[in-house]
Structure 1
C-alpha cells in the first residue's frame, strides 16, 4: 500500500498514509535521510495535519526543477510511505479442499463457480418456462374446444382420461383444464393466455440463446458483475477504499541520481592501485605513488559512467567511480575489489558511453568490434571478454568513431590498412584475423602485431624510428590498402624499428 500524494504548486502534499503508519514516524525517516545528506533536493518538511485534514504532510523541494516523481519513488522505497502486508489466503476451492491459493487462482476458480451458478439458474428458469408453455398449449386447446370440453366434464365419470384420449393432452395439461374456474372461460381470458404464451416464447428464445452462445453468456456474466459492483458501491466518506492501480516499482535513488554528473579521471598504477580524481585537467604521472610503483594508464569520463578494467588474460571488470578512493591519497589495490587469477595483471582502464564502439585485439593478429556496455559486469570474478591464443597479449582497446574508420596494422616488418567495418561485431570471443601472422614466428617472438591504429581516410601518419621521421599522406597510405587478414606490404625502408607513431587528422 502506498501513501496518496499530490502536487500543490512546487510542493508535495501527502494526504493519506498506509494502514497503521504514523505521520510522525514518516517525517522522522525523511529527516534522517536529510541529515545524512541523502536527500539534498529537499529543503524542508511540515506537518499541517489538523481536525479538518487528519493527514497533511508537506515536503518542500529546493527548486521547481526537482523531479518530484523520482523523489517520491525514492521515499516509497526507503520509508513507510509504502508498506507490504502479509495475508494468508487459505480457502476451500472447487475441489472442496482447503489450500493456500494465489489471487489469480482464487479469481479463476470464482469465475468458474460463477459461470456454473449462472448456467444452473438459466437452466432452472428454462425448465419453468417450458413447463408453463406446455400448460398454456393445453389451456388454449381447451378454449378452442370449450363446448366439447364442458360436455365431457359434465357427462363423463372419468373426465380426465377422456380428455387425454380425445385431445392428446398430458396429465399436467388435463389437470390444469379441470382446475379452471367458470369465470376464466371468458373470451378475454383466451387473449390473456395468448399474450402470456408470446411472452414465454420470447423468453424461451432468449434463454436458449444465452445457453448456446458463449459470447452472449459471457456478456451476461459481465453485466451482472458490473451491476453488483454498482449496487455495493460506497462513497469514500462512508468507508475507506484503496484503489488497485498498476504502477512501477518504487526505486531508491543511488549516488548518481543524488549527485550531479561530474568529469572524473580514473588513474591506474603499475602495481594495480586505483584512485579517482575530479576533472580532466589533471596530470596522473605527477601523482604521488608508493615506493616502487608508478603511473600505468588513466581514463577520462563522467562520474555516472562505470570504469572498466581489462586484465592480461582478456577478462573485464567494472567499478563505480564514486566508490573509488580520492586521488589525494595513493589509492587502493584492485585485488581487494576483484577475484582474479594470480597471473593476471590489470592492463587497461576505460570509460565511455554504453553505445561507444570499441575495437579489441591481440598481438596474435585477431580482433573484433563490441560496445562499451559489453564490457560491464557486476561479477567480482569479472567477465570473459577476449579469448587469447597461447602466449598472446591483449592490445590497448581502440575507440571507433564512425563507419569510415580505417585500421592501420603493423607487425615486425609488414603494414596493412583496411576498413574497420570488415571486422565482426561480437560481445566476446577471439575475433577474426586482422593481419596474417605465422604461428611459428609468433611463438618464437620474431613476429607479432605491434601497432594497431584507427584513422580516417583523410588522415596522415608520421613514423618515428630513432632519429628518422617519415610522414605518409592519405594518398601514400592508400597503397597499403588490402584485404583484411592478408599479409600486407613490407614497411618502408628504414622503419624496421618503430619507436612512435602520430596520427594527424584533418581539422
Structure 2
C-alpha cells in the first residue's frame, strides 16, 4: 500500500479564491504596468524605459545616433524583460511624425510611412537618438525629483516616473487596452495646453468651458479637419468619453480635387483603393481619374478628376466622406493611472489639475534637492574659510598629528565633513586668491539659498515659477495648430441613381421570370437566346440609373436598380432569387422610367387603371400589392403611357374582341382593382373561356400592331375607327385568322 501524501505545513486554498486572486493580480499588472499611462509623464512603462535607456546611452539630441538594436537590447536586458519586437514597435511609434504629435525619438532610416506605418525596417538597420523635446521629460531626472525602484533583477534602479515639465499625456495622447479598461487620449497642441495650465494655476476653480477658451480641441499630427460640433467636444472634455469626427482637407486646382491632409491613422493607399473600388463597380460615374501625386514635398497629395466641370464638388466630396475613410470617428476615453496609483477616468479639468499637482510636487522636490546641495556646500565652505583664516595652525596640526581629523574638529569646532574637505585640499588651493573665491561662492550660494527658501515658503512664488517654466517650454517646443476645427454638416452619400451612368437600356423578361438588361433601345428581345422551354414575355425601355419594376400574377410590384441586372449577353437571372413572390405566383411584366411616368396596369378579368411609377416603388423583397386580381386570375403585361400626348387605349380578349377607347376614361390610381376596360362576361371568365390578353396605349396618329404566334397585323390610325367605342363595351371581333392574339403593341 502506498504511503499517503504528507500535506503538513502546506497552505490550503479554495480553487475559486485562488483563481479570483490570480486573475485580479494579472489584470492589475496589465493595467498599471503595461497598457495604461501614468498621468505624470503620460508614458507607459515600456515607453518610459526606452527613453530612460536612451538617455543612459548618451543618445541626446546633439549626440551621434546609435543602432536601434543597441537601445532595444539595453531596454529588454536591463529594465523590460519582454519581447524585442514589441519593444521596438513601441520605439518606432515614438519616432513617427505622423503617429506622435510631438515625437520623442529622432529616427534615421526607414521608420514607416503614413501609407503603411508597419513598413519600418528591422532594428538592426535603423539608428536613433532622442529629440530635443525629450529634454522636457529627462532634464530634471538627476535632481531628486522622482522615486526610484529596483529593476526586475534588482541589479540597478529605474525611475518610477519621469519628471515631465509638460503634460505629455495630453500633448501626444495614447491608446491602450487592458483587462476591463481601455484608454484613448487624443493629442493636443502644446501652446494651447500650456495656456490652459497657466489659466488653471491662476484660477483653480475654472470650468471646462473656461479651459476650452484655450484648448479648442484635439490637434492631430496629420492635420485634417475636426468637424464635430462644439457641444460634442465640450461633452468629451466634461465627461472624459465620446467620439470625434475627423475629415480630410481638400482644395480645387484646375478642376481637379486635391486632398492635402487625411484623418489621423488613415493611409492614402487605403482611401485610393476604396474610391477605385467604387469606380470599378460603376458606382462613381462622377469621377474620371484618380492618382497619387504624394512626394517628399507633399506627403499627402491625392488627386481626383471629376467627369466634367459641371460636377458639384461639394456634393461629390460629401459622398466620398460618407463612403470612404476620408472621414472617420475617433474614440476618446480618458482612463489614466492617477498619482495615487489607481486608474480612473478624468475629464479635462481633473486631468490638468492632477498633472499640475504632479508638477508642483516635482518642482518642490527639485528645489528642496537643490537647497540641500547648496546648504551642504555652504557648510563645507564655512569649514574651508575657517581653515584659510587659520592656515598656519591647520598645517601644523596636519604635519604633527597622527590623526589630524579629530584634532581639527575639536580645535575649530568643525564637522566631520568639513574636516575631511580640509584634509582633501590640494597645495595649489592654498593660494591667497582662494579665500576670495570661497567668499564669492558663499555670497552666490547664500543668495541662491535665500531665493529657494522664498519660493518654497511662498505658494504664489512657486506658482509663478511653474508658470514661467511652462511658458519657456511652450516657446521652445510649441508650434501652430495642425488640425482645423470647423463644424460641418453630416456627410451624406449620393443616391444610387445619381451615381450610376445614365445609359439607355432595355429590360427583358422571359416567360419563366428570368430578367436581364440589354444596352440600348434597338434591341430585338425575340433575337436573344433563352433557356430551353423559355421565351420572350415582356420588354421595357429606360435608363440604367432608373428602377426596373416587375409585376407578378398576383398584382404585386417589385423594384430593383436597372444597373444591377445581369447583361443581355447571358440569359439573365431568375427574379425569384431577388424577390419573394407569393406561392404559385409568376412574373407577368416589367416597367421602367422616371418617377412621374405612367403605365396602364390590368388584370385578365378586364379591369385596370393608370398608375405613376413613383407610387409603385418598393424596396421590400415581398413587393407591394398594387393591382387587385381575382382569385385564379393574373395580371397582364403593363403598357407604357406616352408623355404629353392624346392617347387611346386598346384592349383585346382571348377570343379576338378588340376595343379602343379614350385614355381619359380610365382613372389614375395608386392601387386597387381599377375600372372595366373591356366587357368580358363573368360566366365566360370564370369558365376560362375568355380573358383579357393584352393592352396597349396608342399615341395620336399612331399605329396599333396585333401580334399572333405566326404573324403581325398593323392597324393604321384611320383603321382604328372600326374598333372604337366607349370604355367597358364588348368590342369588335378581329378578322378571321387574327383572333388568337398573343399581344398588342403601339408606335411610341
**Alpha-carbon distance in structure 2 between the residues aligned to 1:475 and 1:325:** 41
**Alpha-carbon distance in structure 2 between the residues aligned to 1:476 and 1:327:** 36
Change (3 A) 1:75 1:311: same
**Alpha-carbon distance in structure 2 between the residues aligned to 1:504 and 1:239:** 66
What are the Cα deviations for residues 188-232 of structure 1, in whole angstroms up to 9, with x where unaligned?
xxxxxxxxxxxxxxxxxxxxxxxxxxxxxxxxxxxxxxxxxxxxx
What are the Cα deviations for residues 151-204 of structure 1, in whole angstroms up to 9, with x where unaligned?
xxxxxxxxxxxxxxxxxxxxxxxxxxxxxxxxxxxxxxxxxxxxxxxxxxxxxx
Q: 1:379 aligned to 2:625?
A: no
Contact 2:256-2:306 at 8 Å conserved across structures: no
Which of 294, 318, 321 does residue 47 from structure 1 map onto? 294
Change (3 A) 1:44 1:476: closer
Change (3 A) 1:6 1:35: closer
Matches within 5 A, 1:75-114: 75-85=320-330
Number of the residue aligned with 2:695: 452
Contact 2:656-2:740 at 8 Å conserved across structures: no
Change (3 A) 1:73 1:350: same
Alignment partner of 2:326: what SS? coil
Number of the residue aligned with 2:386: none
Which of 5, 11, 17 does residue 256 from structure 2 map onto? 11
Q: CA deviation at 1:443?
A: 0.9
**Alpha-carbon distance in structure 1 between the residues aligned to 2:568 and 2:706:** 35
Number of the residue aligned with 1:129: none
**Alpha-carbon distance in structure 1 between the residues aligned to 2:481 and 2:680:** 84
**Alpha-carbon distance in structure 1 between the residues aligned to 2:679 and 2:553:** 22
What are the Cα deviations for residues 378-412 of structure 1, in whole angstroms up to 9, with x where unaligned?
11111112110233321221111245212233444
Number of the residue aligned with 2:268: 27
Q: CA deviation at 1:357?
A: 0.7
Number of the residue aligned with 2:685: 442
Number of the residue aligned with 2:457: none
**Alpha-carbon distance in structure 2 between the residues aligned to 1:295 and 1:503:** 14
What are the Cα deviations for residues 10-58 of structure 1, in whole angstroms up to 9, with x where unaligned?
233445555xx14xx34122222355445653332233686xx9x8634
Change (3 A) 1:475 1:344: closer
Does 299-308 or 66-75 show the bigger shift?
66-75
Number of the residue aligned with 1:61: 305
Contact 1:49-1:56 at 8 Å conserved across structures: no
Number of the residue aligned with 2:585: 344
Q: CA deviation at 1:472?
A: 7.2
Number of the residue aligned with 1:170: none
Change (3 A) 1:87 1:366: farther
Contact 2:702-2:716 at 8 Å conserved across structures: no
Matches within 5 A, 1:296-311: 296-311=537-552
Q: 1:430 aligned to 2:669?
A: no
Does 341-350 or 325-334 show the bigger shift?
325-334
Change (3 A) 1:336 1:42: same
5+ residue gaps in structure 2? 1-226, 228-246, 334-478
Number of the residue aligned with 2:650: 408
Contact 1:34-1:42 at 8 Å conserved across structures: no
**Alpha-carbon distance in structure 1 between the residues aligned to 2:693 and 2:307:** 55
Which of 448, 472, 480 does residue 724 from structure 2 map onto? 480
**Alpha-carbon distance in structure 1 between the residues aligned to 2:745 and 2:304:** 55
Contact 1:364-1:448 at 8 Å conserved across structures: yes
Q: CA deviation at 1:358?
A: 0.4
Does 404-413 or 467-476 show the bigger shift?
467-476
Alignment partner of 2:268: what SS? helix
**Alpha-carbon distance in structure 2 between the residues aligned to 1:284 and 1:472:** 24
Q: CA deviation at 1:264?
A: 2.8
**Alpha-carbon distance in structure 2 between the residues aligned to 1:470 and 1:336:** 38
With normalisation by structure 1, the TM-score equals 0.58
Change (3 A) 1:399 1:253: closer
Q: CA deviation at 1:269?
A: 2.7
Does 410-419 or 303-312 show the bigger shift?
410-419
Contact 2:505-2:518 at 8 Å conserved across structures: yes
Alignment partner of 1:47: what SS? coil
Number of the residue aligned with 1:278: 519
What are the Cα deviations for residues 274-327 of structure 1, in whole angstroms up to 9, with x where unaligned?
333333444443444333333333333322122212111111122223333333
Change (3 A) 1:72 1:288: same
Q: CA deviation at 1:445?
A: 2.9
Number of the residue aligned with 2:131: none
Q: CA deviation at 1:364?
A: 1.3
5+ residue gaps in structure 1? 89-235
Q: CA deviation at 1:253?
A: 7.5
Contact 2:509-2:515 at 8 Å conserved across structures: yes
Change (3 A) 1:311 1:79: closer
**Alpha-carbon distance in structure 1 between the residues aligned to 2:585 and 2:569:** 27
Does 326-335 or 427-436 show the bigger shift?
326-335
What are the Cα deviations for residues 389-437 of structure 1, in whole angstroms up to 9, with x where unaligned?
2333212211112452122334447554432122222122111222333
Q: CA deviation at 1:460?
A: 5.6
Alignment partner of 1:442: what SS? helix
Number of the residue aligned with 2:637: 396
Report how many aligned residue pairs link the two structures: 349
Does 391-400 or 316-325 show the bigger shift?
316-325
Number of the residue aligned with 2:470: none
**Alpha-carbon distance in structure 2 between the residues aligned to 1:332 and 1:367:** 29
Q: CA deviation at 1:476?
A: 6.6
Number of the residue aligned with 1:221: none
Q: 1:73 aligned to 2:348?
A: no
Matches within 5 A, 1:77-226: 77-85=322-330
Contact 2:276-2:290 at 8 Å conserved across structures: no
Change (3 A) 1:243 1:472: closer
Does 411-420 or 304-313 show the bigger shift?
411-420
With normalisation by structure 2, the TM-score equals 0.41
Contact 1:26-1:81 at 8 Å conserved across structures: no
**Alpha-carbon distance in structure 1 between the residues aligned to 2:714 and 2:542:** 34
